[in-house]
Amino acid sequence: MNTEVAVGANRLELLQIADAVAREKSIEHEIVIEAMEEAIERAARSRYGQENDIRANIDRKSGDIKLFRVMTVVEEVENESTELLLADALHQKSDAAVGDELTDPLPPIDFGRIAAQTAKQVIVQKVREAEREQQFEQYENRVGEAVNGVVKRVEYGNVIVDLGRAEAIIRRDELLPRESFRQGDRVRAYIYDVRREQRGPQIFLSRSHPQFMALLFTQEVPEIYDGIIEIKSVARDPGSRAKIAVLSNDTGIDPVGACVGMRGSRVQAVVNELQGEKIDIIQWSPDPAAFLVNGLAPAEVVKVVMDEESQKFEVVVPDEQLSLAIGRRGQNVRLASQLTGWEIDILTEAEESERRQDEMRQRSQLFMDALFIDEMMAQLLATEGFARVEEIAYVPAEEIAGLEGFDEDLAEALQERAQEYLSQRDEKDSERRVELGVSEELATLEGLSPGMLVTLGENDIKSLDDFAELATDELTSPDDGLLREFELSEEQASAMIMAARAHWFEDEDADIAAAESAGEEV
């Protein structure tokens, strides 16, 4: 665009140039006209004085240019170039009021070379800003889409991609491992972020993002595009291996088979685009355990124990399947964990059996020591699911009496011994609690047993305020919760913490009441 001609052109040419620029840059005609008005204003100020408030107006139909100076009506003038006393304003306009703007027409000016150059710079800058804003708005709405482009250049491993109307960047860590591009290569990638920056909109692309693979399947599998098959979750180790969980909303269509395609044609197209990345297509299930078993394929699963509270799975696999279940460098179990959103621990049958035997031995020994019974009877109680002395002491006696080899008299005797054991243990714990300096206030908090108080004291939680400052997970976390051995639920822990904090609010209310009382006396 020859802007020097634009600012010195006749009226109709001015509108024609504005139309041409708007079409060429695909921006609104009004934005170009406003840019021309600003350019004319800046050139006029260089002629009449920068201190003046000069406005330009281009008639949108005829192209006529009008210049005028604007003065604001004030009660006391601070700037004579832009302000006018109310008394003087009334001579020009009988109903003038403070805050009004009065205009004085100015004669049109001839643009010199410097003025024309300034105008050109203003118009170019405004048009460029409008282009950038349009690019930002266009691509901001396309976050989450896959786009095609041509590699423009490669800088320090980052790939600059020409998308046609904008440039984008694929950072080195968003490329697939060992992937390289040259200028002129065609590339497909996923828009994961668009940011407004000083140098223009920055469009960030990725080829390693999990959703990029999901979009590739959407393009290759018509059933996904039509919504018959749904992609529920994706986990990727970019360039190496991936897992994708799919669900069919039509019972007559196999989601895994549809994604694989005839002789693997559909999945192979995605694999080729991702540089040979191996893809496991998995049937999604609303049952977390069943979904996990599918997710750990190709490894076989013998047993699954799930802990919903901590979102954790314990998986038992055959001894010879351990390496397959874990995968190279833990890849298979890591991807299965990402896919399901649960933490996964894997054990072999031998390890699980050994651990179960250890637990049985510990429980049996506990019952032998606490209840003064022989090993066989202790093992029988442990085998029937009793894990703690408290359970023996407080379950209905008929539950124990109903076990093979037990009767009512024996059940009552065992419960008496269990209750006596617990009473002695609590007495010892209470003495230990006092030795540790745990306060009476904390000891009277409902829900805390003597054993819990000892554990808290040993961890330097000795006052009500110490306990009140704790978070729920600090007490119940299965990994490092202070009271994790006492089978305390999150609800119970939260209720006790809130009870410990109650005195804070009572003290606050008392302080407010005291302050109000003092104010009344004054």
Asked if residue 407 belongs to a domain, the reply is no
Indicate whether 36 and 68 sit together in one domain. yes
Share of the chain above pLDDT 70, in %: 88
Mean pLDDT for 460-471 is 88
Which tens digit of pLDDT belongs to each residue from 180-217? 899 999 999 999 998 887 677 788 999 999 999 999 99
Q: What is the pLDDT of residue 128?
A: 73
Q: What is the pLDDT of residues 224-279, one digit of tens each?
A: 999 999 999 999 999 899 999 999 999 899 999 999 999 899 999 999 999 899 99
pLDDT of residue 1: 44
Of the two residues 506 and 204, the one the predictor is more confident about is 204
What is the distance between the alpha carbons of residues 491 and 472, in angstroms, rounded to a whole number? 9
Same structural domain, 237 and 344: yes
Give the per-residue pLDDT at 274: 92
Residues 77 and 188 in one domain: no
pLDDT at 241: 93
Return the pLDDT at 509. Answer: 60
pLDDT of residue 507: 60
117 pLDDT more than 70 = no
Structure confidence at residue 433 (pLDDT): 87
Say what the pLDDT of residue 119 is: 57
Pairing mode, strands 241-248 and 54-58: unpaired
Asked if residue 404 is part of any domain, the answer here is no
Instruction: Report the CATH number that the domain containing residue 98 is assigned in CATH.
Output: 3.30.1480.10
Residue 297 has pLDDT above 80, yes or no: yes
Dist CA 232 CA 250 (whole Å): 15
For residues 228 and 343, state if they share a domain. Answer: yes
Tell which of 135, 157, 185 closes a domain: 135
* Lowest model confidence (mean pLDDT) among 25-39, 281-295, 413-427, 437-451: 25-39
- Which residue, 135, 167, 193, sits at the end of a domain? 135
Q: Which domain holds residue 444?
A: 440-508
163-170 contacts at long range (C-beta below 8 A, 24 or more positions apart)? 163/203, 165/26, 165/135, 165/138, 166/135, 166/138, 166/139, 166/201, 166/203, 167/203, 168/203, 168/204, 168/205, 169/202, 169/203, 169/204, 169/205, 170/204, 170/205, 170/206, 170/207
Does residue 331 sit within a domain?
Answer: yes
Q: Say whether both 57 and 123 belong to one domain.
A: yes
Highest mean pLDDT, choosing among 132-136, 323-327, 509-513: 323-327
Total number of domains constituting the chain? 4
Position 291 confidence tier, pLDDT thresholds 50, 70, 90: very high
C-alpha separations of 135 from 21, 29, 40, 263 in Å? 16, 16, 27, 42
Q: What's the CA gap between 512 and 504, in Å, rounded?
A: 12
Label residue 106 by pLDDT band (50, 70, 90): confident
Burial (0-12, 13-18, 19+ Cβ within 10 Å), 234:
buried
pLDDT attached to residue 25 = 66
Residues 16 and 80 grouped into a single domain: yes
Residue 67 has pLDDT above 80, yes or no: yes
Angle of helix 29-48 versus helix 113-140 axis, rounded to 10: 150
> Do 88 and 169 belong together in one domain?
no
**Averaged confidence pLDDT in the chain:** 83
Residue 187: the pLDDT is 94
Q: Is the pLDDT of residue 497 over 80?
A: yes
Cα-to-chain-centroid distance, residue 148: 27
Residue 406 within a domain: no
- pLDDT score recorded for residue 38: 78
Which CATH number characterizes residue 336's domain?
3.30.300.20
Helices (H), 346-469: 349-371, 375-383, 389-394, 397-401, 408-436, 440-443, 450-458, 464-468
Are residues 229 and 300 part of one domain?
yes
- 364 versus 100: the higher-pLDDT residue is 364
Boundary-marking domain end, from 135, 154, 183? 135
Instruction: Compute the distance between CA of residue 135 and CA of residue 163 in angstroms, rounded to an integer.
Output: 11
- pLDDT value at residue 412: 87
pLDDT at 490: 83
Residue 461 shares a structural domain with residue 480: yes
**Torsion, CA 432, CA 437, CA 442, CA 443, rounded to 10:** 30
Q: Could you tell me if residue 63 is inside a domain?
A: yes
**Over 50: is that where the pLDDT of 4 sits?**
no
Rg (CA), the chain: 39
Residues 7 and 92 in one domain: yes
For residue 187, the surrounding DSSP H or E stretch is: strand 186-197
Q: Is residue 335 predicted with pLDDT exceeding 90?
A: yes
The CATH number of whichever domain residue 197 belongs to comes to: 2.40.50.140
pLDDT of residue 5: 39
For the whole prediction, is pTM greater than 0.85? no
Same domain, 11 and 131: yes
Q: Does a structural domain hold residue 388?
A: no
Q: Which amino acid is at 102?
A: L
Instruction: Give the pLDDT band of residue 505 (cuts 50, 70, 90).
Output: confident
pLDDT band at 425 (very low <50, low <70, confident <90, very high): confident
31 and 73 in a single domain? The answer is yes
Give the whole-angstrom CA distance, residue 152 versus residue 121.
27
